[in-house]
Every structure is written in structure tokens, then in C-alpha cells.
Amino acid sequence: MSAKRVLVVDDSQLIRQVLADALTAKGFQVDTAENGSDALRKIGRQRPDLVVTDILMPVMDGWALCEAIRRAEPTHEVPFIFLTTERDVPKRIKGLEMGADDYICKPFSKEEVVARVESVMRRVARTAGRGKRKGVKASQTRPGPVHLAGHSEQLAIPDVIQLLSLNQRSGTLHIRGRSVGRIFFREGKILNAETRSLKGRKALFRIVTWPEALFEFEPGEPGRPAEPALEGSTSSVLMESFKQFDELHQLAKRLPNLDERLRATRKKESELGALTTTQRIILRAATGGATLAEIIDSVPDDDLVAYTFIEELIGRGALEVIGTTGAAATVSSAQPKP
């Protein structure tokens, strides 16, 4: 089998040479181009198996190159990786919507680029094989935005959610961060979310606050729970989660750490005044002692509500801090203290 051909496009001669040397050492045939126009000339002479390109280049940038490659029948299925310093969310999403298979931000290591190239090549080979066995055209099986997989360093979880919503995708987004979570979509709408024992809004808001995570989208009819549990558009749900995230950071600065144990005091209810249902749940959970993380998970309301009531109960003398346990830090995936 002949070696796969990779075209590296970047206006930096140093980057072209570094990546060419690294990919050649792994058995790839490598061509290089200094901008999009130069790349199209070389593609006209010999079709590459994959293109790795910068976005910000003179003469013809990476966006225009990608559009030209996607328009031409001989090359519209060539896998595409963006390599750029661009970190703006809309531009990352634009790249994936155009059909790019991956997106790598500078600074990067040559080992990372080689690994991504090999990963995309394997995915293309797998999907092409499935298409041949089932008699499906390659364009129907080629990995694109619907087959999203990666790390939140390259594409944050909220960005992934927005992309799936914009493309009206159905399926399950699997996330592995502080815990394991799943978000269920039908035609771009979030149906439900779950992580550990949490479901619905609380689970979704918890997942999007994880500082880093691996993700993979499984297209198709979403699995359980298929029943709708979240109301409102994806944008409005995400905006609410971002607002909660900001307020949680401020509250967390005033509360004990997640692994610190709290206990309900012996104060009588008559001394505490009127209590809400959520406050009663918190005090029951803290009877005999429980970590802050365990208490937050026991509350059915959003984390922001739980944090707010816990702070109020501490202030009223209904809860007291009694110690720390290292093991408790792994019990919950609740929002960490910044």
C-alpha cells in the first residue's frame, strides 16, 4: 500500500519544515505550500489524502482554501485539519461547519499534529470501509461535524453543544471530565442530560462547568432518557448556565471547600425561623455530617440555589464546618472552589 500523502500549508517556512520532517518520519509523503493559492496549484497536480493548513495566510487564507477544496468534485472529500492561532469561538465553529475534521491551536507540538493526522486517517479508513460494505457513497460516510470527537482545549463543551444545535443533529454527546456525562439531542434541541445521579438542568449546568473534558458525539436516535426534560432554546439554556457559572465562582469563594464536612447544628427550627423545602433537604443531608459536595448533590435544585441556601444556613448558625476528608473530594463532580 502506497504511503498517504499530506499537504502542509503555512506561510511560515519553519512550521512547514518541522511538520514535513515529523510526518515523513512516520511514513507519510509530504508536500508543502506557503498559502492557499500555492496549495491549489499543487493539489491540481496531485490530490492529497489530507490537508493540514494555517488559517491566517497572505494571498489566500485557510477559509478560502477549504471552500475551494470542498467545491471541487475531485477533492470535496479530502480530510481537512485547521492549524492556527485563532481561538475565537465563532471561528472555531465556522471551521467545523465547513467540514474540517479537526482544529489544532498554536502553540502545538509536532507530536500532537502527527497524532491528529494519524487519528483522522484512521477515522476516514473506518468510515470508507463501512460505506463500501453497505454500498454507501463515501460522501455519506465521510467524518465531518456530525462525528465530533476531541478535547475541550480545542473546542469547549459549550461550543460543541452550539455546533450540534446549529447543525440540527440528533444523537448523544458523551463527555468524560470530572465525571462521566451524556447530553441527548434531537434535531439540535437538548432533550436531557445526565451525570452520576443528576439529570436535566442540574446535570447540564454541572457538565459545562468542568474545566476540561474529552468528548465524542454518537449520531443517531438518542438513547435514554429520550423524554424531553429541558425547556427553551439551546442558546438560552447555555446563557443561563454561563450566568450561573459566574455567580457560583463568587459564592464558592465564601464557602468551605468541597471536601470539607458540614453538620447540622442542634439549633431548633424555632430559633432558625422559616425554612424552605430546599433548606430542609440540606439540613437532613448534613445530619451527622456530610461533605459540601455530598450536600450539593443531594439538592434537586441547580447548584447555584444549593450554594446560596448553604451560605445562608451557615450564616444563621444552622450548619457548622467540622473537618476535612480527602476521600470526599472524589465523591462529587460539583463545581470546584476556584
| pLDDT tens-digit readout, 17-76 | 999 999 999 999 999 999 999 999 999 999 999 999 998 899 998 888 988 888 888 888
DSSP 178: S
CB 147 within 8 A of CB 123: yes
Residue 98 has phi, psi (to 5 degrees) of -75, -10
pLDDT of 266 above 60: yes
Whether 130 is covered by a domain: the verdict is yes
Kindly report the average pLDDT of the chain as a whole number. Answer: 79
pLDDT at 228: 58
| The predicted structure's pLDDT at residue 305 | 87
Rounded Cα distance, 148 and 232, in Å: 24
Q: What is the C-alpha to C-alpha distance for residues 31 and 20, in angstroms, rounded to an integer?
A: 8
Does residue 94 form part of some domain? Answer: yes
Query: What residues form DSSP beta bridges with 193?
Result: 183
Parent domain of 63: 5-141
> Structure pTM?
0.50
195 with 173, same domain?
A: yes
Question: What are the cell numbers at 252?
Answer: 464558592
Q: Is the peptide bond preceding residue 107 cis, with omega within 30 degrees of 0?
A: yes
- Is 175 in a helix, a strand, or coil? strand
The verdict on residue 46 lying in a domain is: yes
Could you tell me if 100 and 116 are in contact, meaning their C-beta atoms sit under 8 angstroms apart? no
**Domain assignment present for 11:** yes
**Of the candidates 86, 116, 141, which is a domain's last residue?**
141
Angle at 147 between CA 165 and CA 244, to 5 degrees: 40
Structural domain count of the chain? 3
